Amino acid sequence: MRTIGALGAIDPHRFKDAISDTTDTAVTNAKATSSTGGTNANAGSIVNKGGEGTHRTGNPHVRKADGKLKKKKKQQRPQQNVMTEKQMEPLVGGIPTDSYGTTFSNDGYYTQLSVNALLRILENTNDTTFHREAVEALNHMFAPVQNACAPFLDRVVPAILLAMDVAPAGGSEFYISALVRLVSIARQLVRPFLEPIFKLFSAESLGSERQQSTSIGLIEALAEALSGDFGPHIATVLPFLMAIIDRDSSELHQPTLRALPALQILSPSLEGYLFLVMPRLIGLLDIAITPIAVVEETLRCIASIVGAVNCGSFSSRIVLTLVRLLQCSPPLELQTAAIDVLCTMMEQLQDEFVLFMPTIKLVMSKRGIDEHARYERYSRLLFMGRLVPKEPPRAQSRIQGDAAQAAAAGPALGHSGDGLAKQEVGVMQLRRAWTSKPQ
């Protein structure tokens, strides 16, 4: 913090150059003065030779008055103060540098000064050594102040993206994680700066699995920050998520398992994009070639989408695929998840679902699924005309889940939600760091 406080001091190299410029100017003025004096002296000699002699043998009272006038002009001439001239140069953001070691009553001064110092580090693309530390410091400063970070976002977001562009290979993952944290802090305040952020989600360049997971986390953070207004941006991120699912050739399908919860969060915005999403999700329900964990997560994703938007055009494909899944005698957890999806579809389709009920009842009887409490209750309510669709529960992102767990365990462990030790940073800490002097 002392280092951050001292970053506003005058650059010694610039001060040295300023002294050199001042010395050169003084020498030039001295030479010009001596040259002018020599010319005047020669002129006086010529005049004396001509018999006038006004300069050397003139009136002594005139010489005395002339000397007083020169002395007065010399006193009135301002002396060049290099420190004053250099210190009055404002930093980026309009903060003067002539304030080292002083105390200001404006609380925003210290935050702005520190942010400007960190941004100068990020904007220096020739030296990327301290870019990570600068980004971490910015997020660490913004976390306590929350909405007070709004005046700096127009420079912080481009600076982080610039640092990501000049980062070495494999270094972009860190900066995407920093953007996730920044979006989680600023939330609605990031709306004016979404365009350059959404350019990161390109279906052509997915990156490594870890980078894909981090990018999906950024999508989840943006969806949470926009609070249901994600619809205009769904066309940008959906091809990215579908490309991750299509190109996942790993044994455990970890990228797919990471992309499916993001689709659950985006489910209210998928009204016009079911033709792009549903065929892929239905294809993942083949238990013969898909791991059980992926099938279970896919069933949760389908249930979330069915509960959020009208899936009537895909109802037959979904129901028949679930029936085939039940015929394969899946494990109990998959069996329960599949019937839960059927219950959700019954809520949405109402009377149209009656067409599928005989087939579902036949398969359940053959596979020994005598009864399912929720399915039986919903069937009775449907025939009585009393089945009312319920508001689907809102999907929770992994960030929120981790934050909730950390909030519960934080007081006991002494850690914050991001895994770091609790350390509150605010205006008073920045003020003490700025006013402290190095030992």
Both tokens of residue 365?
Answer: 């009887």
Whether the Cβ atoms of residue 345 and residue 306 lie closer than 8 Å to each other:
yes
Is residue 295 scored above 50 in pLDDT?
Answer: yes
The DSSP H or E segment spanning 305 is helix 292-308
pLDDT confidence tier of residue 356, bands split at 50, 70 and 90: very high
Lowest mean pLDDT among 210-214, 269-273, 426-430: 426-430
Can you give the pTM of this predicted structure? 0.67
Residue 45: CB partners within 8 Å, gap ≥ 6? none
| pLDDT category of residue 214 using cuts at 50, 70 and 90 | very high
Dihedral Cα 165, 170, 176, 177, nearest 10 deg: -140
Q: Which residue has the tokens 């043998």?
A: 57
* Residue 112 pLDDT exceeds 70: yes
Spatial separation of the C-alpha atoms in residues 8 and 79, rounded to whole Å = 25
Residue 165, both tokens? 């562009």
Beta-bridge partners for 90: 96
For 118, the token pair is: 């960190």
The CB density around residue 276, as the number of other CB atoms within 10 Å, is 14
The per-residue pLDDT for 272 is 87
List, as one string, the DSSP characters of 347-398.
Answer: HHHGGGGGGGHHHHHHHHHHTT----HHHHHHHHHHHTT---PPPPPPP--H
For the cut 70, the answer to whether the pLDDT of residue 299 exceeds it is yes
With 70 as the cut, is the pLDDT of residue 34 above it? no
CB-CB contact of 434 with 110 (8 Å): yes
The pLDDT > 90 percentage for the chain reads 36
> What pLDDT was estimated at residue 346?
92
> Is the pLDDT at 280 greater than 80, yes or no?
yes
The letter for the amino acid at 88 is M
In this prediction, residues 44-73 reach a mean pLDDT of: 50
What tens digit of pLDDT does each residue of 35-48 get?
555 544 444 444 44
Query: How big is the CA angle at 90 (ends 84 and 93), to the nearest 5 degrees?
Result: 160
For the ranges 3-17, 102-116, 339-353, the lowest mean pLDDT is seen at 3-17
CB distance 245 to 290 below 8 Å: no
Q: Which one-letter DSSP state was computed for residue 271?
A: G
What is the model's pLDDT at position 426?
A: 55
For 296: left if phi > 0, alpha if psi spans -120 to 50, otherwise beta; the answer is: alpha
Weakest mean pLDDT among 3-7, 264-268, 339-343, 410-414 = 410-414
Arithmetic mean of pLDDT over the chain: 76
Least confident of 81-95, 100-114, 211-225, 297-311: 81-95
CA nearest to 298, candidates 313, 283, 314, 320: 283
Residue 287: HSE in the Cβ half-sphere, 13 Å Cα cutoff: 18
* Gap between the Cα atoms of 352 and 315, Å rounded: 10
Question: Is 209:173 a contact under the CB 8 Å cutoff?
Answer: no
Average pLDDT over residues 133-138: 92
Tokens of 28: 């030039």
What is the C-alpha to C-alpha distance for residues 260 and 130, in angstroms, rounded to an integer? Answer: 36
Confidence at 399, pLDDT banded by 50, 70, 90: very low
d(CA 193, CA 153): 8
Task: Give me the half-sphere count of Cα atoms (radius 13 Å) on the Cβ side of residue 222.
Answer: 31
Structure tokens at 308: 């959020």
Residues of the chain above pLDDT 70, percent? 64
DSSP secondary structure code for residue 52 in this structure? -
Residue 115, C-beta contacts closer than 8 angstroms, at least 6 positions apart: 93, 138, 141, 152, 156
* 128 vs 118: CA distance, rounded Å: 12
User: How confident is the model at residue 33, as a pLDDT?
Assistant: 57
